[in-house]
Each structure stands twice: as C-alpha cells, then as structure tokens.
Structure 1
C-alpha cells in the first residue's frame, strides 16, 4: 500500500509532522472518536462521531435522516481531526507548559457506500472497534437497519500526523529554579462493565471480561 500523498504542510513545529501510514494508522486505530468540520452557506459546523479505519480509508455511520450526514454525503470538503493526549507537560514557567499528544488531520470528501456487503462490513469493523469481539455475539443486524443507516468513507490521501513526546523544554535561565517540572501521564481505560436491569442474570460474555 502506498503512503498517503498529503498536501498538508504544518506552519509550526513542522519537525513533528509525519505523513507515512506507519505514523498515521496507529493513531486512527487507537482513537474511538473524530471530529468532522465543514461549512455550509458560510456557517461552520463541527460534529464529533465514532469512526473506524480500514486500509487507506476511514468509515463513519449515521441515520439517513441526519442533517449532518445529508450535507457531507454531497461530497463537500471536510476536515477530520483526531487527538490522543498522553501527558500534561509541566514546566518551570506557565509559558513553557505543553502537552504530549498524537494527532491526525485529514482533508477529504465523503464517498457514499452503496454496496450492501461493504456497508455491512463497515458496521462490523466499527462495532468490533468500539467493543472488541462483540459482532459475533450480538443479534445479527437486520436488512432494514442497514437501509436506515448511511455509511460514508473518507480516503486518507491527504492526511498528516503530528505528535509531541518527552519532558518539558524550559528556558535556559529557568532550568536552575527550585520549581518542580516533569510529566503528568494521562490514560483512558475501560472499567468494569455495568449490567442493565434486563441483563442482571446474564453472565458477562467472554469478550467483555
């Protein structure tokens, strides 16, 4: 698979930019949500939604009646962003504080998925990303449910990753100050599942353990 041919040139901290799939794909695969931004009649919109990557495209789903979906399925330009935060970077001055992060920016246009098999497969990819191993456990998706849902794909041809890692970068004159500096790591984790009232007597399935 060839690398995305990105036209995105960051104006600041260009050395943190990466355009190769090996940098972009792991961020997209770890993130559960993205934000899709677009403009209609000079009115800006920015919508968070879940997504999944498969090969060199990402996929989202939405109701066929969604105003958001109906606008972007026309093929208008969109900007899609993803950000993962790994740590707060605490320096000896407020000016030098920062964040360790991994992010992706994508410029693309929506491709409507009409092929039923691909559309259903994209549902499976997303379901298993949000709750790994759950697709085969759940009640099979119905044909009318597929028809009621729009699936959109976005190519990663114009995608770039940007990231920061490491300790604070203090000004030279601040380095000997008796002020603590370092990292405060952050982590998003899945906690123990909580049953609803209809599932209190059902054993927790293995894929949720």
Structure 2
C-alpha cells in the first residue's frame, strides 16, 4: 500500500485515489518523464527530466555542472510528478467535460550514487528498459563519461496516485440534448524505428517491441 501522509492525502476527487504500489510503478514505468519541482532562491522551479524506476527507487541523471543536479545533490526537498493522458470525456454539457488520466506525485529527497560501477549498472538498466538487448551491441559508458555524470536516486516512500477513468457524468436534465457524448481516447504509440542516413549496410533492424507490447506501432 502507498503511504498516507498530509502531503499525499487526496482531497479533491478522493474517489480517484489509488493506493496500490503497483499502480504507482506502472505510471512511472510508462511515463519515464518526471517533472521535478524545487524551490530555488525563493522561486518555485519545475523541470522535466528523464526518469526510470528500479525496484522502489526512481533515478535521474545529468551533467555534474547542472544547476538542478547540484541542488538535488544537496538533498533539497522536492516533488516529482508523472502524468499520463488517456483521453477526453465528452459530455452533453460543457461543464461536465473532463479527462481520463493517470498521475503520480512523489515527495522526498534525492541521494547521490557516487560509485561508477553502480552508475554503469543503473544506467544500463535504463537503456535496457527502453531498448531491450541494446547494451549487448553499443559501446558502454567509460570512466570519463561516468565520472562526468551525476546519478541521483529517490525512494518511493511518500507518494500518491490518482486515476480518472470514469464515463460521462451527464445530469438527467441534459440527457435529451441531441449531441454525441462519449470518450475520445488518446493513445501514445511507439515505433516504427527510423534509421540514421549513414547506417552501414547489413545491419538488421532490432526488435524493441517487447518493451512496448500494447503501444508498439508496426
């Protein structure tokens, strides 16, 4: 079960709150984009970052001289949000239009991964998540590259999940309005692969569809 703290309590639309840990994991794994909110010089700042999950931690990486990396490295309190948009709900009245979505909010502080061997392992896991089997063929990070990279981890100890997936909520007085009502689905598809123009002859197109079973587009 997810944590239940003052910061993670969902008050508006509480019926959309989900408390299963797997729901949190699935949103993070599908999104792979974390919007990270921090305070800098008394100013709120939100920056989107590539992010991935391994077990109960989320990882982000960036250059050592990144302002955000330096700030998070100092264990600044922060908030991460992940959002997946799944479609529009089209009602008979303008007021009752809404959306299908899946969202997650995480609070906490990042810790730094300093060991280059551990950095390499975790970065390779990320590469395998987006393109299974790729680490067997590409050049992996070297000592210089790994040393120039800041890798941070945040534990998923304080998080909330909200999912909107209900149907049209028309009022009884609007049911006779002669207009179409229903769901306008929104889907993100992945593929097909687009090769670079200087690809050498004889290189076969890899198959990464296993990472995106329901979203892969032939």
Q: Smaller-chain TM-score range?
A: over 0.9
Given the alignment, which residue of 3, 6, 11 partners 1:5?
Answer: 3
Q: Please, which moves more after superposition, 54-63 or 125-134? A: 125-134
Q: Quick one: distance in 2 between partners of 1:25 and 1:185?
A: 22
Aligned to 2:173: 173
In the superposition, the TM-score normalised over structure 1's length comes to 0.92
- Residue number in structure 2 paired with 1:97: 97
Q: CA deviation at 1:208?
A: 4.2
Over residues 119-147 of structure 1, what are the superposed CA-to-partner deviations in whole Å (9 max), with x where a residue is unaligned? 21210122122333322221122111111
Q: Is the 8 A contact 2:36 2:47 kept in 1?
A: yes
CA distance in 2 between partners of 1:42 and 1:49 (Å): 21
Secondary structure at the aligned position of 1:72 is classed as helix
Rate the CA distance shift 1:77–1:198 in 2: closer, same or farther, 3 A: same
Q: Answer whether contact 2:52 2:58 (CA < 8 A) is retained.
A: yes
Kept in 1, the 8 Å contact 2:3–2:160? The answer is no
Q: Distance in 1 between matches of 2:163 and 2:80?
A: 16
Ranges in structure 1 where 5+ consecutive residues have no aligned partner: none
Residues 1:68 and 2:47 aligned together: no
CA–CA separation in structure 2 for the residues paired with 1:6 and 1:147: 38
| Residues 193 and 208 in structure 1, CA contact (< 8 A), matched pair in contact too | no
Q: In 2, Cα distance between the equivalents of 1:120 and 1:41?
A: 33
- Cα RMSD of the aligned pairs, angstroms, is 1.6
Deviation at 1:41, TM superposition (A): 1.6
Partner of 2:163: 163
Quote the offset at 1:83 in angstroms: 0.7
Provide the residue aligned with 2:146 in structure 1: 146
Residues 151 and 64 (structure 1 numbering): CA distance in 2 closer, same or farther, change over 3 Å?
same
Unaligned stretches of 5+ residues in structure 2 = 210-218
Query: Cα deviation per residue 1:64-123 (whole Å; 9 max; x = unaligned)?
Result: 111111111111111100011111111111111111111100011111011333221210
Question: How many residues are matched?
Answer: 207
Alignment of 1:78-97 (within 5 A): 78-97=78-97
TM-score relative to the length of structure 2: 0.89
Please give the alpha-carbon distance, in whole angstroms, between the structure 2 residues aligned to 1:155 and 1:90: 38
Identify which range, 142-151 or 131-140, moves more after superposition: 131-140
Does the CA-based 8 Å contact 2:110-2:152 persist in structure 1? yes
